[in-house]
A and B are shown apart, each in its own frame.
Chain A
Amino acid sequence: MKQLLPKLAYFGIILLFIPKQAHAMHIMEGFLPIGWAIFWFALCLPFLMKGFKVIRVIVKENPESKLLLALSGAFTFVLSALKIPSVTGSCSHPTGVGLGSILFGPFVMSVLGSIVLLFQSILLAHGGLTTLGANIFSMAIVGPFIAVGVFKLATQWGLSFSIAVFLAAMLGDFGTYVMTSVQLALAFPSEVGGILGSFQKFASIFALTQIPLAISEGLLTVMIMNFLQKYNMKELVQLRILKAKES
């Protein structure tokens, strides 16, 4: 871990010196070799199946949470539609998966995030059907899992609820686009630098643009959570998010 940090810092600094114009988004239609496309689809299936199960259980045990489920889906819908200008001189959009991940766990968001990605690939030619598996994996599986992990860690470290939510949503968003870069690097290793060389190239396009947007996503998620805390305490406690002593 100690050795990893300087490496990561060094890598981050390198990224800052590769300014590039980019329109960060999901992997475009047809731009993943068929083997990789199938691989990512296969990887997503168990998560989606588990997600459907979890949603069924949640709705059955706690019908009131249907509204919160709808809110989580709606939040992802809105944030995915917001194309925000970024430091690279181009636009990208946040993912909005952090909120639902914190409320319901990662698997529920795998399903909801997939719905959004499907909508965007069919109606907006944004992302794609052949790359849907890879995009689901990055935005609706890796992002939510990072968000939940960060939220749990931050809570354990005794950080305040708002800070924990902020970090979870921000790093989940950022992690999504780092994963996208990894997926592209694996599919297109460069002849000179191999997979790592490609990763730097793609990360300078996807991840760098995402930094301010990830911060924005964190702030927006905290806003919604503030509201939920004020008006929806009982349900959040039922979902075991907030310790009862805080309510």
Chain B
Amino acid sequence: MFKKNLLLLIGVIILAILPLLFLQDAEFGGADGEAEEAITEIVTHYEPWFSAIWEPPSGEIESLLFVLQGVIGALIIGYFIGFMRGKHTKDHAKH
């Protein structure tokens, strides 16, 4: 299982790196406006009728919150994996 998963992980990493290698001058950014632009191309005077209640005051704060989101999830996954492995070893030690 470990070897299989390592291969899969390498696949994921390669998929993420390839665009970076081949699209040297791309922005890879929050060109968040892209869909908005498309909308305003279609409906020239579309005004969003509601804006976010709260926005992260800066890119730094936003990345903090994204990291927190990832960390919370990763903590639970890590706990789960450890718990399962431990249980598994214990159960097998009895036999």
Stretch at the interface among A44-52, A119-127, A133-141, A143-151: A119-127
State whether the Cβ of A184 lies closer than 8 Å to any Cβ in chain B: yes
State whether the Cβ of B1 lies closer than 8 Å to any Cβ in chain A: yes
CB nearest to A94 among chain B residues:
B12
With a CB–CB cut-off of 8 A, which chain B residues contact A201? 38, 41-42
B36 touches A31 (CB 8 A): yes
Contact with B along A61-87 (1 / 0, CB 8 A): 000000100110111111111111111
Partner of B23, one of A81, A84, A89, A232: A89
With a CB–CB cut-off of 8 A, which chain B residues contact A25? 32, 35
B1 touches A124 (CB 8 A): no
In A19-76, which residues have CB < 8 Å from any B CB? Answer: 20-25, 27-31, 33-34, 67, 70-71, 73-76
B15 touches A130 (CB 8 A): no
Q: How many whole Å from B76's CB to the nearest CB in chain A?
A: 4
Q: What's the dominant secondary structure at chain A's contact region?
A: helix
Given contacts A20-B34, A77-B70, A205-B35, whether A226 and B1 have CB atoms under 8 Å apart is yes
Q: How many whole Å from A99's CB to the nearest CB in chain B?
A: 10
Contact with B along A212-247 (1 / 0, CB 8 A): 100110011011101101111000000000000000
With a CB–CB cut-off of 8 A, which chain B residues contact A71? 76-77, 80
B5 touches A226 (CB 8 A): yes
Given contacts A21-B31, A70-B80, A222-B8, whether A84 and B36 have CB atoms under 8 Å apart is no
Q: A residues bordering B, Cβ < 8 Å?
A: 20-25, 27-31, 33-34, 67, 70-71, 73-87, 89-91, 119-125, 128-130, 184, 188-191, 198, 201-202, 205-206, 212, 215-216, 219-220, 222-224, 226-227, 229-232
| Additional 12 contacts, C-beta under 8 A, given A30-B51, A188-B42 | A25-B32, A29-B50, A67-B83, A71-B77, A74-B76, A75-B77, A77-B72, A87-B19, A87-B23, A129-B53, A212-B18, A229-B1
A-B contact pairs, 30 of them (CB 8 A): A21-B26, A23-B30, A23-B34, A29-B48, A30-B51, A31-B48, A78-B73, A81-B67, A83-B66, A85-B16, A85-B19, A85-B20, A90-B34, A122-B54, A123-B65, A129-B52, A130-B50, A202-B38, A205-B34, A205-B38, A206-B35, A212-B18, A219-B8, A219-B15, A220-B8, A220-B12, A223-B8, A230-B88, A231-B84, A232-B84
Q: B residues bordering A, Cβ < 8 Å?
A: 1, 4-5, 8-9, 11-12, 15-16, 18-20, 23, 26-32, 34-36, 38-39, 41-43, 46, 48-56, 62, 65-67, 69-70, 72-77, 80-81, 83-85, 87-88
